[in-house]
Every structure is written in C-alpha cells, then in structure tokens.
Amino acid sequence: MTEPDPQKQLLAKEAEFWDLQEDKIDSLYARPHDWRFVPKLAEKIIQPRVDTLLRLIDGNKDRIKSLVDIGCGNGWLCHAMAKRGIHSIGIDLSPKKIETAKRMAKEQGIADRCEFVAGDVMEWRPREKVDLLTSHGSLHHFPAFHDALQHMLAHHLKPDGLMLFVEPNHEGMAPEVVQFLMKCAKSWWGKRVFDFAFYYEVTGQTSLDTPPPPTDGPDMNIRHESPAGKEFFGEHIELDDYFAEHFEVIERHFYHYFSSHATNAFYVFMKSKLIRGIWRLLLPMMVRRDTRLLKDPKYQQFAEDGLWFLRRKASR
C-alpha cells in the first residue's frame, strides 16, 4: 500500500478547517472571541488598512482591470473590487466559503463581474493572466510558501502585473500589550471582570503564568491557527525581508500594534458591559496611536499584520 501524501493530507485538513469555520461563523458572532468578528470594533480597527488598500487600487485603476484573490474566503475583496469594475476571480480551498462568496455576489448584483473557484491554488490556472494578484491573510497558509508564490507568478500574473498582500507579520501579542493585560488581569478589579474560563479555553493555558501549550496538535480548534497556517509561523515572521529580497516594494505599511490585540483580550475577556463601552469610546484614539507608533521600525516588528504592494524586480 502506498503511503498517503503528507502534503495532500495537510490540504484536506486545511479545507476541513475552513469549512468548519464557515459553518460556525454565526456562532462565533454570537460569542465574539476575536475583534475580527465584532463588526463595529473590527471596522474601526481595520479602517486604516482598508483605506490604504482602496487608495492603492484606486490610484492604479488604469492598470488594474482584472485580479485573482488567492484564498478568497467569503469573497469580500472580490466583491469590493468587482464593484469598482475590476473583473475579480477568487479561489479558495473551502467549498463552503466559495458557496458563500457566490451567494453574496448574486445578492449584491455583481455575479457577472466575479468568478469563484473551489480548489487548491497550486493546482489551478486562470484562463488568462491577470493584472493584480491579491492575498488577504492567505499566503501564509501555503506550507511551501516560496514555491506557491513562484507558481502564482508563473501562471496567474501578467509579467508587468502587481501584487497586493496583507499577511501576518508577527505572531502573538507585542510585549507591551501582554504586560499591560497581565497587570490588569491580576489587579483586584481585573480578577472580578476577567473571563478566566474563556481565556483558558482560548489559550489552552491552565493559569496566567503557565505558557500556552504548543499549537501543533491534531485538534481542529477554530479559535486557533489553521493546520497549514501553523506550519508557517515562527516567532517573528520574516515576510518583510522576503518581499524586499524578491520583489520591488512599491509601498509597505504595518498595522495592529496595540488596538487589535488589546481589543481581542479586553472585549472577549472582560465580562463588564461598562468596560466594553469605555473600550469602544477609547478605540479610535488607540487606532490613531497605533498608526503613529507603527511608523517606527522598533514597533513595526511587533505589528500583527503587514501590507505590501509589490511588483516583480525588473531583472526577474
């Protein structure tokens, strides 16, 4: 009997993970564990990032008539770009996410400008090469990251095409955020409002002072990183260096230093409505502070996400 191909097994687990996440998405909203699932907060926090993304697309609209969005999830980026007249193709491993993407495109009346494909990016080629390749949080789910990019450059993107990637930049919370949260949790008032049970469920820790267990177990906990994503993560993800070495960087920006991590922790772990309300009020100030701090490389290394706008180096 032939040994099962480990790469194929990992992909199957990855697809299962994202299908499961799509199935559970409503219940995640019902008990938000993550700022990304809390619409009013998420919108405020990601606004600077979305503003940059739209500025770059709009600023290059004469050059961008078509795009492929790698790991498109529910297709939101394709939908937004199709509304700007760009022919948008989204591909994703999860059939359930693709179903949602197609349904949403129909609901928004843009199905004629969007195509969605369920499958592995590495096994797929568009009919025609496109002007822009995008990935919003998906490239890091490709275990052979370098090969994956080479495949996309060779088969998906026109030779003079552009790339716009938003990907994780640093795993875990910045030290300043951890220190602040632990101080709060251990304070007399923190002990009353901190949702310890939920914190332990999410982190797998048994006390505030024990380190989290390794996340490479066989579990399919959708609160953790996906099976293929786990393979990618190192302590500090050197995407910035990688992109600078291989591509011409037209623009790069870093996002989410304090506001997202702390919101994640506060909104979820704080049971008090009052504190959540105060947090909401303080949030715009924190987002502005993040934007200011993240101009400094000292903080950039701890930014949760980076945005890179790239093109091939002239010699490549």
Ligand X SMILES: C[S@@+](CC[C@H](N)C(=O)[O-])C[C@H]1O[C@@H](n2cnc3c(N)ncnc32)[C@H](O)[C@@H]1O
The span of 101-109, 119-127, 186-194, 195-203 binding ligand X (CB under 6 A) equals: 119-127
Give the one residue of 49, 87, 113, 136 binding ligand X; rule: CB under 6 A. 136
Pick from 97, 52, 59, 95: nearest CA to 78 = 97
- Give residues 2-41 in contact with ligand X (rule: CB under 6 A): 14, 18
Q: Which of 73, 242, 78 is nearest to 145 (CA)?
A: 242
Residues 254-313 contacting ligand X, CB under 6 A: none
Q: How far is the CB of 281 from ligand X (least distance, A)?
A: 28
- C-alpha distances in angstroms, 77 versus 101, 153, 248, 259, 316? 10, 20, 23, 23, 28
Least distance (Å) between residue 112 CB and ligand X? 22
Nearer to ligand X, 161 or 168 (CB): 168
Nearer to ligand X, 57 or 228 (CB): 228
Question: Token pair of 181, please?
Answer: 């949260």
- Packing angle between helix 273-293 and helix 259-269, nearest 10 degrees? 170
- State the minimum distance, in angstroms, from the CB of residue 153 to ligand X: 16
Q: How far is the CB of 239 from ligand X (least distance, A)?
A: 15
CB 313 within 8 A of CB 248: yes
Using rule CB under 6 A, residue 71 touches ligand X: yes
Contacting residue, 48, 73, 168, 306, with ligand X by CB under 6 A: 73
Residues 141-200 that bind ligand X (CB under 6 A): 141-142
When the beta carbons of 176 and 231 are compared against ligand X, the nearer one is: 231
Q: Which residues pair with 68 in a beta bridge?
A: 89, 133
Q: What angle, 0 to 180 degrees and rounded to 10, lies between the N-to-C axes of helices 95-107 and 6-23?
A: 40
Size of interface with ligand X, in residues (CB under 6 A): 19
Question: What letter would DSSP give residue 206?
Answer: S
Residue of 38, 164, 202, 228 that binds ligand X (CB under 6 A) = 228
Binding test (CB under 6 A) with ligand X, winner from 96, 97, 113, 261: 97
Piece of 58-66, 87-95, 258-266, 295-303 that binds ligand X (CB under 6 A)? 87-95
Residue 295 burial (10 A CB sphere; 0-12, 13-18, 19+): exposed
8 A C-beta contact, residue 137 and residue 166: yes
Q: Is 94 in the site for ligand X (CB under 6 A)?
A: yes
Distance CA 91, CA 78 (A): 10
Using CB under 6 A as the binding rule, whether residue 137 contacts ligand X is answered as: yes
User: Which CB atom, from 25 or from 244, has the smaller least distance to ligand X?
Assistant: 25
Task: In angstroms, give the least distance from the CB of 192 to ligand X.
Answer: 35
Nearer to ligand X, 151 or 280 (CB): 151
Which of helix, strand or coil describes residue 309?
strand
Cα→Cα distances 103→1, 74, 313, Å? 42, 9, 38
Stretch that binds ligand X, among 118-126, 200-208, 213-221, 270-278 (CB under 6 A): 118-126
- Residue 48 as a binder of ligand X (CB under 6 A): the answer is no
In whole angstroms, give the CA distance from residue 271 to residue 131. Answer: 47
Enumerate the β-bridge partners of residue 32.
none
Check residue 56 for interaction with ligand X (CB under 6 A): no
Residues that bind ligand X (CB under 6 A): 14, 18, 71-73, 91-94, 97, 120-122, 136-138, 141-142, 228
